Amino acid sequence: MNTGIQLAYLVASVLFIIGIKYLGKTKDARKGNFISAVGMLIAIVATLLTLDVLTFIEIGVCVLIGSVIGLYYASKVPMTKIPEMVALFNGFGGLASFAVALSDYYLKSETNLASLDAVNLTSILLSLLIGGVTFTGSMVAYLKLDGKVSGQPITFKGQHALNLFLLIAFVAASVLVFLDPTQVTFIVILIVISLLLGVLTVIPIGGADMPVVISLLNSYSGMAACATGFILNNNVLIVAGSLVGASGIILTQIMCKAMNRSLVNVLLGGFGQTVATGGADGPAVVVKEIGVEETAMLFDSASSVIVVPGYGMAVAQAQHVIRELMEQCEKRNINFRFAIHPVAGRMPGHMNVLLAEANISYDKLIEMDDINEDFANTDLVFIVGANDVVNPAARTNPDSPIFGMPILNADKARTVIVSKRSMGKGYAGVENELFGYPNCLMLFGDAKQTITKVVSEMKDMA
């Protein structure tokens, strides 16, 4: 039985690695997700066969309940709420590791104190720290994303000093636990510190940096799972946790680069503050407004179009009507593509998910580095709900809070049309210089409604 279980774990681990490899490409992401899910199913079944805790009937009931809950929320949660759902998933992952660490400590301290060796205790303490931080940090991220608390940074004097003090206190209490594992008081202190640290490291983060937060918390949940694997002596959990933790850190680094942040700054939990609080007030931006009919005419006469989607597209649920716009353009042999900024939206890959839901071909979705040089040779750029990721101030204004942030070169196109509800600022809280450029036109109104009218006009022209 043991050989078969270990072989199943090996197969599951290989499937995880293959799944992550497929996730690296947009067109193969769905296949990678399925392969990883099969690997997880194999790992779960193999683990349950080694345990004599629940009967198979009880296990089946638990699986059924979990599946029903998962299917319900997967079908009911709108695409605009996917970032919030991801934050909750990360939080529950951290909570699971946190709970396993506590239960393992309780059982062994009550029945088999000798088994609490250095490796086991270290794993328990790491699970408590990372799991607790992941849980409460993810809950704060969820509340910010869902608008239940302010998305603005919450800061106070001595915040970093307090975080450092709590971390030192956690280490000190951990040492005391090593000296006397039976002292429950120290464990309670560790629980309080870990949960408090999760809150304190996320509250100073503004909405502009939420994609980085999501990827970082995802990495934390993986590291917590890895530590739990050492507690349970489960090899596949160690492998899976390591893969999630490592890939999450790599993704975090990519997000940091796209937001012009350092990883150290992220780990200190103080990033997003300067971006979210705004920047220097420059001269008033004078904009030129365009109507639906004129917009349709510009699309009709263009030979190349690049669409830049942002969170506003998600809010307006405009991805489906944008597909209709793409179909109208392609009937006219117009080269139609999408430029995807790494941090557009509220989580990594947010725009990819939305556009894929609208059955837009993956090969139409081009990453920033691969399309930036093409903007100068593009007739028309259509910006839908994006703001900071196309703000030329990131290149031209050293006083801007977003200076140095890599952006899409939308301003270099022959004509730019921006679909926005109003002249409201983006998450960075600064004026977008692009809106006042001579080649930029503003199409005001709800994106879904205005684009629907543009499509209707184009159909009449055909």
Cα R_g (the chain), whole angstroms:
25
Q: b/e map of 387-397 (b: 16 or more CB within 10 Å)?
A: bbbbbbbbbeb
User: CA angle, 12 as apex, 10 and 13 as ends, to 5°?
Assistant: 65
Hey, which residues does 217 pair with through a beta bridge? none
> What does the block give as tokens for 375?
């903007």
* 3-class DSSP state of 414: coil
Residue 91 belongs to what H/E stretch? helix 82-111
Asked whether the CA dihedral 343, 349, 350, 351 is positive or negative, the reply is positive
> What does the block give as tokens for 257?
């680069």
CA distance 220 to 398: 34
Question: Is 411 one of the catalytic residues?
Answer: no
DSSP 393: H
Catalytic residue, chosen from 388, 399, 446, 460, is: 388
As a whole number of Å, the end-to-end CA separation of the chain is 68
E-only strand ranges, 395-439: 415-420
Asked whether the CA dihedral 202, 207, 209, 213 is positive or negative, the reply is positive
What are the φ/ψ torsions at residue 168 (nearest 5 degrees)?
-65, -40
Residues designated as active site: 388
